[in-house]
Structure 1
Amino acid sequence: MSALHGIVSPGRYGKQDGEPGVVASERRDIGLATIAARKGHEADLTAAVKAAYGAVLPSGPGSAVGPGVRFIGIGPGQWFAVSETLANEALADDLAERLKGLASVADHSSGRAIIRLEGPEVRAVLAKGLALDLDPRVFGDGAAATSTIGHMGALLWRDGEAYDIALFRSVGGSFWGWLRSAAAAFGLEVVTTS
């Protein structure tokens, strides 16, 4: 079930005329997992991820994309993995099998909500609750950060012109309340994804 079931409905919020400044959608049916390198195995883990997924693990905040999987640096020797092709717990199962003995893997697919924000005013809206410089010269495609948005812990990464935000499911309602208020002046269009 959607993390936002019964909390938000598709439609237009705030300013009604003209194109919406922000378009929001929940990304569902994707795999989410954390990876923590085992002591003394970070180099072997990096090589195994490159061989299995075609991506070089970032050494800091940022992300790397291989076929079907994005790896986001969240701390020393730790990454958050996101996949549309290995949905739900299939991602954690695949990672655990391919990285056996090199990393600890935990499934987060049912514990997080992923919200995608895009549109011409997305940076202005995010600036109302996020203490990060999102200028494209600083926070370019693939950039990532662990921070807070409106006092809620979040992992944010840029995918082209879109910003994906991973939040604990328990703060999904609070985030949508904040987003509706923050985007009202620009117009917020909420769409669904399958």
Structure 2
Amino acid sequence: MADFTWTATSPLQHATRPRRHGAAVQQSGIVLSEVLDFSLVLILARRGQWSATAKAAKEFFGAEAPAKPLAVRGKTTTLFWSGADQFYALFPRVPAAQPLDGMREPFAAKASLSDQSDGRCLIQISGPKVRAMLAKLSSLDLDGSVFPVGAAAATSIDHSGVNLWRDTDAADGSPVYNVLVFTSFADSIWHTILDSSAEYGVEVVRPHALDEKPSS
């Protein structure tokens, strides 16, 4: 039998070409990019094992496991809530390594682990008009007083389930939101976001790795 290999590619690879879109304004109200080169693992505590799972996460990732809708950042990993007794671990992809490498033993008999890396796309949105744009697509109240940096939610955009969390503000002070979506819905949601942003002017910047800052 012939050997073969394959390389996973993003369904957004043709949509994320850097460009300006929508209203011709001096400063774009929305900055839109895709985040690449990440690993994503769903960690689901087994019945009665939440405390043990949270302890294992603290020791392994150096971050508190979120027991409520939060995104908690460790040294290289972000843990964000996904539901009762479950959360995702998001961290930079390591070439020639598998996302679950080293994780099975610490979480053995405590939690079930599921590699979701190639099943999700990660979209990052920022800009001075980002809240106004997201208000068209989401029922969440994203005001900073109730959805501060580190807040997270399992919600929907355009009738598709997503995980959304607020990241550290951009250099200009604008809020930054991450949207994690199934790859099969990514193109549709990307263009829904693009269309909803058009009145504010959109700058699509080049895709960037998880451990990089977006740049035009």
TM-score by length of 1: 0.93
The answer to whether the 8 Å contact 2:16/2:205 transfers is: no
Q: 2:58 aligns with which of 50, 54, 59?
A: 50
- TM-superposed deviation, 1:8: 3.9
Give the CA deviation at 1:38: 1.5
Deviation at 1:39, TM superposition (A): 1.9
Counterpart Cα distance in 2 of 1:109 and 1:3 = 13
User: Structure 2: which 5+ runs fail to align?
Assistant: 1-8, 170-175, 209-216
1:68·1:85 contact (CA, 8 Å) conserved in 2?
no
Residues 100, 116 of structure 1: alpha-carbon distance in 2 compared, 3 angstrom cutoff:
same
Partner of 2:213: none
1:171: which partner in 2? Answer: 185
Contact 1:60 1:73 in 2 (8 A): yes
Aligned Cα root-mean-square deviation (Å): 1.7
* Separation of aligned partners in 1, 2:201 and 2:25: 8
CA offsets 1:95-118 (integer angstroms, 9 cap, x no match): 334322211111111110000001
Matched residues in 2 for 1:87 and 1:105: separation? 20
> Does residue 26 of structure 2 align to residue 26 of structure 1?
no
Q: What SS does the corresponding residue of 1:192 show, helix, strand or coil?
A: coil
Does residue 61 of structure 1 match 2:69? yes
Matches within 5 A, 1:5-154: 5-84=13-92, 86=94, 90-154=98-162
Task: Provide runs of 4+ in structure 1 moved above 4 Å.
Answer: 85-89
CA 140–78 in structure 1, closer or farther in 2 if over 3 Å, else same: same
Moved more, 94-103 or 67-76: 94-103
- TM-score, normalising length: structure 2: 0.84
Q: Deviations over 1:92-146 (max 9, x none)?
A: 3343343222111111111100000011111111111100000011000110001
Is this contact kept in 1: 2:16–2:207, CA < 8 A?
no
SS, match of residue 189 in structure 1? strand
Shift of 1:6: 2.5
Unaligned runs of 5+ in 1: none
Task: Give the 3-state SS of the residue equivalent to 1:36 in structure 2.
Answer: strand
| CA shift in 2, pair 1:131/1:117, >3 Å | same
1:12-65, Cα deviation, whole Å (9 max, x unpaired): 110122111111110000111100011222111111111121111111111222
Q: Evaluate the alpha carbon distance shift between residue 132 and residue 163 of structure 1 in structure 2; reply closer, same or farther with a 3 A threshold.
A: same
After TM superposition, give the deviation of residue 72 of structure 1 in Å: 1.0
Q: 2: distance between equivalents of 1:147 and 1:22?
A: 21
Q: Cα deviations across residues 134-167 of structure 1 (Å, max 9, x unaligned)?
A: 0011000110001111222110001112100000
What is residue 167 of structure 2 aligned with on the other side? Answer: 159
> 2:80–2:89: 8 Å Cα contact kept in structure 1?
yes
